[in-house]
A and B are shown apart, each in its own frame.
Chain A
Amino acid sequence: MASTEEQLLVKKIQDGDEQAWSTLILRFEGRLTNYALRKIKDHSSCQDLVQETFLGFLSNIGNFDPSRYIQSYLFGILGNKINDLLRSRDKSKIIDHAVDSSGNQLDAGHADSAMGASTWYRGDEKKKLENDALIKCLNLLIEHLLQKKDYLKLKSIELLFVKGVSNLEAANILGIDNRTVASHRHYANNFIIEHLKKLHLSPDVFPQFSQQDQD
């Protein structure tokens, strides 16, 4: 959840406070520009994309949930805009890119990932609840591992889930046994499933749990 100070900043912008708007731009402009520069070398184009990102944020400010992290939201919008630009330059697209990255299309507080008219755009309350539940469970898992200072397990799970490598590759990167990585994956899945059940959600609604152990 966003800090109280950040929530207050959003509320001020929602009330039309110009100083708060300037503060937000100054705070996030540098990191957003550096993010864009990693993908697009032309500084002027990057500056345009960052400014469009801020406009996307502003056009949805009335619906923005102040408890949400501004940074994640802004990076989400910017990521979509970067992908739109890169794919418009690439004549031979390999993915049908069906999503317009216009901030106007983002619903109540959700900047989506790089592509796909995914969950957030469905406007489906049930799907949103499921997503929120999964976010809660993942946060609990990460907090749990950090409290135990079990960084090896966290690294292993992050490689599997976030970077999408196989058990064997994760084992090679971390210099550990393949079976240890498999046990980490198993641990994470069980942790999430147990906590989903506590939230009265069936793990069956998350198809990934039936596919996780395949590789």
Chain B
Amino acid sequence: MTWLETLRTGLESVRVHRLRSALTVLGIAIGIAAVTLTFGLGQGARNRVSSEVKALGTNLLTITPGSSTSKGVRSGFGTGTTLTEVDAQALSDKVVAPDISTVAPIVQSSQVLRWQRTNWTAPVLGTTPAWLKARRRSVSEGRFLDSQDVADHVAVAILGPGVVSQLFSGVDPLGQSIRINNVSMTVIGVLASAGSSATSAAASQDDQVLVPITTAQQRLFPATSLTSILVAARSTSLLSAAYQEADAELLALQGVKDPAEAGFTISSSQSLVATATSVSKTLTTLLDTIAGIALLVGGIGVMNVMLMSVTERIREIGLRKALGATPRLIRRQFLLEAAVLGTIGGALGIVVGIVGTVALPGTVGAPIAVSPLATAGALGAALVIGLLFGVIPASRASRLSPIDALRSD
């Protein structure tokens, strides 16, 4: 008897025992769909965290001034006036700080923006063209600041997409004049969105206005000191080298020997990254565990149906043996039956899983990434479970003497 003939016999049995076949297929399909979806959810969460971390910039240092003391009240970090453009200039020096690629001085203030009859309050950042590169942002319309704008104190502004949607409902913002602190500024560009608007980190990065630092300092909110200096290391791995260079240079500039008395603080996004990564790891472990349990439950279901089906078919096995089937052919028939059921169930599970990954994110608001490896693993596990628990009892039954098998009830 050929394999093809055995396959035909197997297919016939699958067709004939409809309920049993349907139950097996269902068990496998649910297991695989569940694994695909939960793994996908975990992967999606991990991807989202890593993209948000990327948006924050893993090679960035933020230098803020030290605390200020007014009438004996110390006001905390960032309130001092100790950072100036001189510091920023010094950090840009390639000899002093070879591991720093970009330096962007920032003066920042929350301002009311007006356009015609609408208004909106958003942070206004006075900075230099280097900001775009340091933040890894891009401009979707118009252009960004250039050095000429900074040198000439030009009254121009670049808006984040969040600001555009608040101020201009459907009107092209390019070339329009907005008023900031009663100074009329011309909109010359719009930033590209920092990421999917679902994340709060991206939303805050889209809700800001950028102007030349000179314009800000002299015409919008007069100040001589900087709110912060944004420093980008050449790469994430050079972050600590950049940190030390910046620290040493600023200490030298301020003439302070004891780091405890330094008039500035350097912070990085590393600690935030570590927290986010560990949270996402916990989440993925949880989801992976659920996926494993789903697979186990599905496997037990398949196992039960297979065991039952072989038990109730021992007479059939006995009859087939009496009519001339060898034990090997009996095993082969059950093997192929289990393989057919496993393949159908697996294919169905993958289809449901993929449909789920497409349909679910819209309804549950969580990203799902299809992981081919997890899906293949689940399919393999389902097939192994099906084959094992279909074939082992069938193999045992195939060794029964035909009369014992025929007599069983």
A binds B: no
| A positions within 8 Å CB-CB of B | none
